[in-house]
């Protein structure tokens, strides 16, 4: 007989085999001899009240073997000599998973990535952190693995309807991710492990006959008779393909501008903008775990907050427990912050984006820019923040309490952001309609999480790359641009994903549609 039980326990007991077995036998009123095996299908944390408990859903076999739990099988073909070739611009999660899926379906992917491989990319990250130099082709957003490589690697997604999340987890495990992501209710990989996974995916693509070109920025499309037949790279090379998957992410402003110049339709998309807030992790643990010692069995605590202020959502975004704030600008004269964390989430800091929803009405001053209005607003704020920070990657910051009381901080707490901080009055740096909502939002968060408005908490600007400010339209059926044959926008840049897993799922879905398109070609 195969059954499922739910076991709630103190964290120290959750991973204890003897304890779990005894709970199973108690709940199923079974004898030890009947238990042939068990497997935890999901671990989650119930921190709603004290003491904090770990809840696990367990599959149990009595008097029969436990069903096998195999990873999704890999079915890659050799596509070295395949007749059709598909250009993929961008090797982020959308591009990587599109390439893998094309190989499964017998089509050759040719990937063009403006940034470098994970190892070379590290040198450029060091240059931003240490020398304040932003390479526009290789940074925290651009390069092998895209924006997801030097990130937190959180893998939870709300887009479960758009694809098979489990399949993506399995593919990540096949390429080196910890199998615990398959059972954790809030899985993450960590920035120290992600480059290995990304590299394994690259090797898989190459080993099956796909091609990848790093340091290759696409600057134009070749269009013939309403169809895209190739791209032009920065060096002037023309690369031909039967279709093009455009997976350039939310920060490829030159691609949005190229599309607008070529009169390929785009749409303005709401996004969100604000600051990153950082607290000592021990404080967040204390609040979320009700003063209970975290110990070795509980992870660094996370939180999720949302509040409505004057008709706009103010919410936490990409919370990174035990992490670091990183400089995620993609050009020299702007400051953009984001968060990442290692697999153990063991830094002393907890950071999170706290952002305000930006709707079309809010960017009315950029109306003349049409679909790029929200992008122009985003660009304007990032530049203003760069000026306020002293025109380096040093980021404007303020103690949270001082922000609420409207005064410049006389000193700032220690921060995980390496390039350094400049004390400012954030109300003078951010647009007023954003800063007053942030202030009211923070006050509400302080009421929801007692201790959140702490002397040691500070805000750092600007969190502005939460999602794409532009949408590249596509036909809901074919997933192709309605005006350009063979052009398939994919992932976050087109507005079809909001994170690593949703971008990966979108990449797969687009690859499948591209193959349908190729089958209809003469």
Residues forming the site for ligand FAD (CB under 6 A): 89-95, 112-115, 140-143, 146-148, 151-154, 217-218, 247-249, 252, 255, 318, 326, 328, 338-340, 491-493, 497, 499-500, 503
CA neighbours within 13 Å on the CB side: how many for 162? 22
Instruction: Look at residues 336, 372, 342 and name the one whose alpha carbon lies nearest to residue 355.
Output: 336
CA distance 268 to 252: 15
Instruction: Look at residues 31, 511, 426 and name the one whose alpha carbon lies nearest to residue 247.
Output: 511
In whole angstroms, the minimum distance from the beta carbon of 113 to ligand FAD comes to 5
Query: Quick one: 15 or 156, whose CB is closer to ligand FAD?
Result: 156
In whole angstroms, the minimum distance from the beta carbon of 338 to ligand FAD comes to 3
In whole angstroms, the minimum distance from the beta carbon of 454 to ligand FAD comes to 24
In whole angstroms, the minimum distance from the beta carbon of 114 to ligand FAD comes to 4
In whole angstroms, the minimum distance from the beta carbon of 445 to ligand FAD comes to 21
CB 118 within 8 A of CB 143: yes
Scan for tokens 């190892």, then name that residue.
119
SS (H, E, C) 180-227: HHHCECCCECCCCCHHHHHHHHHHHHHHCCCEEECCCCEEEEEEECCE
Query: Quick one: 248 or 409, whose CB is closer to ligand FAD?
Result: 248
Burial of 3: CB neighbours in 10 Å, binned 0-12, 13-18, 19+: middle
In whole angstroms, the minimum distance from the beta carbon of 109 to ligand FAD comes to 14
CA distance 333 to 90: 23
Query: Quick one: 38 or 324, whose CB is closer to ligand FAD?
Result: 324
DSSP 138: B
Query: Quick one: 351 or 458, whose CB is closer to ligand FAD?
Result: 351
Query: Quick one: 409 or 502, whose CB is closer to ligand FAD?
Result: 502
Query: Quick one: 302 or 376, whose CB is closer to ligand FAD?
Result: 302
CA distance 317 to 418: 21
What are the tokens at 436?
């007053």
Three-state DSSP state, 4: strand
CA 5 to chain centre: 33
In whole angstroms, the minimum distance from the beta carbon of 388 to ligand FAD comes to 21
Query: Quick one: 5 or 173, whose CB is closer to ligand FAD?
Result: 173
């Amino acid at each position: 007989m195969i059954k499922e039980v739910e076991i709630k326990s103190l964290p120290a007991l959750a991973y204890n085999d003897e304890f779990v077995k005894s709970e199973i036998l108690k709940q199923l009123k079974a004898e030890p001899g009947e238990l042939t095996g068990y497997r935890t299908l999901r671990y989650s944390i119930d921190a709603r009240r004290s003491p904090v408990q770990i809840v696990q859903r367990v599959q149990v076999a009595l008097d029969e073997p436990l069903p096998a739990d195999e990873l999704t099988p890999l079915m890659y073909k050799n596509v070295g000599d395949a007749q059709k070739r598909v250009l993929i611009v961008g090797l982020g999660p959308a591009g990587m998973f599109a390439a893998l899926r094309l190989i499964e379906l017998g089509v050759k992917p040719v990937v063009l990535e403006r940034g470098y491989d994970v190892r070379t990319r590290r040198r450029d990250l060091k240059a931003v952190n240490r020398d304040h130099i932003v390479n526009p082709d290789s940074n925290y957003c651009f390069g092998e693995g895209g924006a997801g490589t030097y990130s937190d690697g959180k893998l939870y997604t709300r887009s479960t309807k758009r694809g098979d999340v489990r399949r993506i987890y399995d593919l990540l495990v096949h390429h080196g991710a910890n199998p615990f992501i398959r059972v954790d209710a809030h899985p993450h990989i960590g920035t120290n492990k992600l480059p290995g996974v990304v590299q394994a995916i690259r090797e898989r693509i190459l080993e099956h006959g796909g091609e990848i070109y790093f340091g290759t920025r696409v600057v134009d499309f070749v269009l013939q008779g309403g169809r895209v037949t190739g791209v032009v790279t920065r060096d002037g090379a023309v690369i031909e393909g039967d279709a093009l998957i455009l997976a350039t992410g939310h920060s490829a402003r030159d691609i949005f501008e190229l599309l607008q110049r070529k009169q390929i339709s785009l749409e303005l998309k709401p996004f969100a903008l604000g600051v990153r807030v950082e607290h000592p992790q021990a404080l967040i643990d204390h609040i979320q775990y009700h003063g209970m010692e975290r110990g070795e069995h509980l992870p660094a605590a996370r939180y999720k907050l949302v509040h409505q202020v004057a008709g706009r959502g103010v919410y936490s975004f990409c919370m990174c427990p035990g992490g670091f704030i990183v400089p995620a600008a993609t050009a020299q004269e702007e400051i953009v912050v984001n968060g990442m964390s290692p697999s153990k989430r063991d830094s002393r800091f907890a950071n999170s984006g706290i952002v305000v929803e930006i709707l079309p009405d809010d960017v009315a001053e950029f109306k003349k820019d049409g679909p790029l209005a929200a992008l122009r607003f985003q660009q304007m704020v990032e530049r203003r923040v760069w000026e306020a920070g002293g025109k380096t990657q040093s980021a404007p910051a303020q103690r949270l309490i001082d922000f609420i009381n409207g005064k410049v901080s006389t000193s700032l707490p220690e921060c995980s952001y390496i390039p350094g901080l400049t004390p400012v009055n954030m109300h003078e740096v951010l647009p007023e309609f954003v800063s007053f909502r942030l202030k009211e939002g923070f006050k509400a968060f302080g009421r929801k999480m007692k201790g959140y408005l702490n002397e040691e908490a500070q805000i750092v600007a600007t969190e502005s790359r939460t999602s794409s400010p532009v949408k590249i339209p596509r036909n809901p059926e074919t997933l192709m641009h309605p005006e350009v044959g063979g052009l398939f926008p994919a992932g976050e840049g087109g507005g079809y994903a909001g994170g690593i897993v949703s971008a990966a799922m979108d990449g797969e879905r687009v690859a499948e549609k591209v193959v349908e398109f190729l089958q209809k070609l003469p």
